[in-house]
Structure 1
């Protein structure tokens, strides 16, 4: 149970605009009445993720994820309902009443939320140490020496860890945080003898945020130049909230700029991000020294399809990181490359030449990755046929990662010119590598691989059970109630009141729809008209999810129909007719199933009195079944 008052929850739900909330994580494009994007929850090339501003819901027609603004934050960040409410409350400047840090409250929080809370405490603690303590002046001097302004330090929440063994641990325990969460996040290290100490000591702290701005881990740079045993940079270990392969440093601060400029600059280090951001290049993120992963690329793909990788002027480092770029190509993104003079990195170069000259340098020196890689390998292989053949295979392998056939064709032509080799040879090499890849995945070639494929034996289709048949018709009733709960069919009669009145003698068989009907009935009995929001924001997730699925529509009529004065009646134009038909169809199916059950019973009974009773019931049901069929225009076989 959440300690957040219902009034606050209602206020958040009312103010949280679904387009704004989802738009912070993915780039939405308007199509018809809804907004569409590639789903942030699974990889796809064509957008199937729909956001309905009018209904305040999202729905992916690929993976099935659906919900309102709060559910989206829960899904995308894997957090609890209270934490999602707090996140949105902060976004919309809604005050959440203070909660007491007592044992009962601690028990209510999930383990994952507790890790977020402890990490947030640590980030604030390090920020205070940077500004409030005498030792913090060491960290401040370093950051100023690196040219960082106070506003940049505040925006990225930079901090400092005192050069003491238990400063953070003691402060956290004193504030009521549990040691197990300090250890789970890697902030505290516990020895076997029971002693404990801080992981980060005497370091400038770089908090690492997830997409919604929650602190999930830390990068830390030592300020002790004479300490050879301690690594220069130290990162938080993996935890339930921090997975290096799914996090990019600076993405939270950069995502709006990435979306607006439709471009993401990728650098290696924390200071590269900070210096470029301060220099006016805000659409920049860092992989923080790790090899680029699929998860990181998918994070960028939420906001843009265009990535420019900024390489330090180090030839060995560039070649070592080329494999990661292949992964970007494989996921369908466009990649450009910029290299800096030898000995320079983005941080040092922007300070050397200035902001304006640095931006000009990026524009003048950006080239697509395939051309860059082709030129790099061609230069190395010049005059050496063996190396040239190996270089061509390397480049062809990268081109082969590109899913778009037209782009592949363009790059094959470009590559053939640079290497001075026939384009068809490159295409043949590509086809050969593709065939070898398929054979490896299938376990190697065999005779059957060259035989004409035989059609697989189709599995016999199982007939739907009576329960499944009724569920489909009950679903349609519930769908219409949710879409038009307060729509007036005639004076004093709404869709919901009409359907419940007509179905008074029908018992639903689907447990979920029984619950929804009961909620509608309770509302009407209380002289209240149900609304779609009652179900979109319903506390029970099962009801929320089903309601949103029923309210989401994958297709819309093009506005061109109206432009060309072609009238196509909508469901809302024929609502009374549609409601009546939905009720009749459910009754007809119920009658059919009851009739089948009684006929089966007739085969088993032997008592003459019972036989007569069942026969009379069959006759009555058959008459009712035929009448309903006639009303629906269905020919009933006798």
Structure 2
């Protein structure tokens, strides 16, 4: 069995590794005097750089938060690795083989993270091979070709295809020495009543990598109509190496362009990232199944050197021109004060995303989309006042009220008078009127980050919990059904299957607190030998603080049905009816959205008939899905 790494090899790794090169994978550095480099600290949020690296000493130190050490310590801290894992990663970077002493510790000391990363590497190789060589992948290849992506393009971005059989990856990983627990912890394999199964089956796969290039997760697109999981996209569930709020798809390919040009382009999907890069916009990245948030800002700020005293960096968001796109843009604007960078919004005149734009109008159109982006401020104001009737006095007064805080939020005060004149013209009021409204208005503030509690801090009160996460209204029949399903999950985890969890969309939950508990359930893997008490404790630990009392309550509440005497579990029919009831919510919401859109299009004389047909077909599809769901549990 492998033992401790030979001390001479550890010393050689430190000696041969450039700490500046390693740090540059995470932070953009600039000269700061003889032998020193400086950048924004990756371990705390700061406006001015206090993170210093000295190549000759092989050390780093942050004068803001006090973090410091050698290159191994940096890798440990920034990537959440053990000492052994950090040395192994640096040795692999050098192409150096490590020697180990006999009789030392083994097994877990070799590092769980490196095992999970290796499992993802094997999975990516399998998926990439199947995209090229599997007859089943024809639909996936057709999908890419229809968007003008070649085989070489797919290889460049590591795109692959997950086998439809459902067990091929599990068998491969098992043959490579991975345990069932490791495969489950990686989020690649699930466990059901009939054994292990591949989490991703028959889908087009995009590898999600960190800044160092390690694959840590996947984004998977639905290709086949008979796919039992209806969600168009599935992402890897949260694992110890994959936190969706902290990763950006394409960052491994884009970081050099982001750092060199001090510009980042945030698009909405995997194919948009591919289209942008292939069109020459190599600073493009995308979020992975979540909204662009504070941790994404911190990551890009470090790479762009977004700091005072330098020419402003540029962050450009591309959004769809629909209501959802406008909502996403306004959320991004609410976070704008966290940047020194200048923010812009790029929306194609006809609402096309970068992938469609490249396909229909060519790569140059994608470049022009980015270069012609509007300042975020302008987009925000036009979006807000565009919802109002400016032909009435009431509408114009309301427009001044919503525009004034936006103007007050402009970072450079010297620009505000010019913007006041511009916006006054858009609204149709006098400059003095608007200026007065601006003086009386506040600013748009980004939401505060959660404050960390001291270890000795008092437990939150009931009022604090209620304010943070409203408790479910159990008089609502849907909410009551949600509670029963969560009771089943918490009290009888053996009935849970990966397919069951994957079939329930996050937006299906009516009560926010129930969604929080469900997210916690999904994040915990039932391991062999785990007791029920350990399971409930693990779910409690993974739930938000405000939802933890609810987990305890659901774990002990009585179910309103008798158990199957032969198995001691709730009857499968009862569980299936609860799952269906919860799933109905998201399908019903989609039906309502489609009906609303059809009504708006029907009243628009310029509406595109093709769009009306497409929405009608979508409505019929959702109605069939709802009828099928109800029939299965009737």
Query: In which range does the TM-score fall when normalised by the shorter chain?
Result: 0.5 to 0.7
Contact in 1 for aligned 2:409/2:444 (Cα 8 Å): no
Contact in 1 for aligned 2:208/2:249 (Cα 8 Å): yes
> How far has the Cα of 1:411 moved from its partner?
4.7
Aligned to 2:61: 59
Counterpart pick for 1:396 among 400, 404, 409: 404
The CA distance in 2 between the partners of 1:130 and 1:202, in whole Å, is 10
1:153 aligns with 2:161: no
Provide closer, same or farther for how the CA distance between residues 420 and 86 of structure 1 changes in structure 2, counting only shifts above 3 A.
Answer: farther
Q: What are the residue-to-residue correspondences of 1:159-558 with 2, within 5 Å?
A: 159-191=160-192, 193=193, 195-225=195-225, 227=227, 230-304=230-304, 305-363=313-371, 365-381=372-388, 382-401=390-409, 405-406=413-414, 411-412=419-420, 414-421=422-429, 429=437, 434=442
Contact in 2 for aligned 1:374/1:418 (Cα 8 Å): no
Aligned to 2:87: 85
The CA distance in 2 between the partners of 1:244 and 1:387, in whole Å, is 40
> How far has the Cα of 1:349 moved from its partner?
0.2
Contact in 2 for aligned 1:312/1:339 (Cα 8 Å): yes
TM-score (norm 1): 0.62
Secondary structure in structure 1 of the residue aligned to 2:65: coil
Q: Which moved more, 1:326-335 or 1:258-267?
A: 326-335
Provide closer, same or farther for how the CA distance between residues 295 and 261 of structure 1 changes in structure 2, counting only shifts above 3 A.
Answer: same
TM-score (norm 2): 0.62
> How far has the Cα of 1:252 moved from its partner?
1.4
Secondary structure in structure 2 of the residue aligned to 1:54: coil
Provide closer, same or farther for how the CA distance between residues 395 and 41 of structure 1 changes in structure 2, counting only shifts above 3 A.
Answer: farther
> How far has the Cα of 1:266 moved from its partner?
0.6
Aligned to 2:127: 126
The CA distance in 1 between the partners of 2:5 and 2:133, in whole Å, is 33
1:45 aligns with 2:52: no
Contact in 2 for aligned 1:311/1:338 (Cα 8 Å): yes
The CA distance in 2 between the partners of 1:170 and 1:66, in whole Å, is 43
TM-superposition CA deviations, 1:101-150 (whole Å, max 9, x none)? x9974322344443333223322232233334443454334333332234
Aligned to 1:506: none
> How far has the Cα of 1:202 moved from its partner?
0.3
Secondary structure in structure 1 of the residue aligned to 2:348: strand
Provide closer, same or farther for how the CA distance between residues 386 and 251 of structure 1 changes in structure 2, counting only shifts above 3 A.
Answer: farther
The CA distance in 2 between the partners of 1:163 and 1:437, in whole Å, is 47
The CA distance in 2 between the partners of 1:11 and 1:103, in whole Å, is 20
Secondary structure in structure 2 of the residue aligned to 1:313: coil
Aligned to 2:11: 10
TM-superposition CA deviations, 1:591-635 (whole Å, max 9, x none)? xxxxxxxxxxxxxxxxxxxxxxxxxxxxxxxxxxxxxxxxxxxxx
Secondary structure in structure 1 of the residue aligned to 2:285: strand
Provide closer, same or farther for how the CA distance between residues 178 and 428 of structure 1 changes in structure 2, counting only shifts above 3 A.
Answer: farther
> How far has the Cα of 1:236 moved from its partner?
1.0
1:107 aligns with 2:108: yes
Contact in 1 for aligned 2:377/2:410 (Cα 8 Å): no
Aligned to 2:70: 68
> How far has the Cα of 1:344 moved from its partner?
1.4
Contact in 2 for aligned 1:330/1:402 (Cα 8 Å): no
> How far has the Cα of 1:296 moved from its partner?
0.9
Provide closer, same or farther for how the CA distance between residues 138 and 437 of structure 1 changes in structure 2, counting only shifts above 3 A.
Answer: closer
The CA distance in 2 between the partners of 1:133 and 1:98, in whole Å, is 40
Alignment gaps of 5+ in structure 1: 442-638
Number of aligned residue pairs: 436
The CA distance in 2 between the partners of 1:146 and 1:367, in whole Å, is 27
The CA distance in 1 between the partners of 2:79 and 2:219, in whole Å, is 21
> How far has the Cα of 1:414 moved from its partner?
4.6
> How far has the Cα of 1:430 moved from its partner?
5.6
The CA distance in 1 between the partners of 2:209 and 2:132, in whole Å, is 21
TM-superposition CA deviations, 1:327-349 (whole Å, max 9, x none)? 13334332011111334111010
The CA distance in 2 between the partners of 1:330 and 1:421, in whole Å, is 31
Provide closer, same or farther for how the CA distance between residues 435 and 225 of structure 1 changes in structure 2, counting only shifts above 3 A.
Answer: closer
Secondary structure in structure 1 of the residue aligned to 2:47: coil
Provide closer, same or farther for how the CA distance between residues 10 and 115 of structure 1 changes in structure 2, counting only shifts above 3 A.
Answer: same
The CA distance in 1 between the partners of 2:383 and 2:264, in whole Å, is 23
The CA distance in 1 between the partners of 2:120 and 2:45, in whole Å, is 30
Provide closer, same or farther for how the CA distance between residues 198 and 401 of structure 1 changes in structure 2, counting only shifts above 3 A.
Answer: farther
1:31 aligns with 2:32: yes
The CA distance in 2 between the partners of 1:109 and 1:212, in whole Å, is 20
Contact in 2 for aligned 1:326/1:398 (Cα 8 Å): no
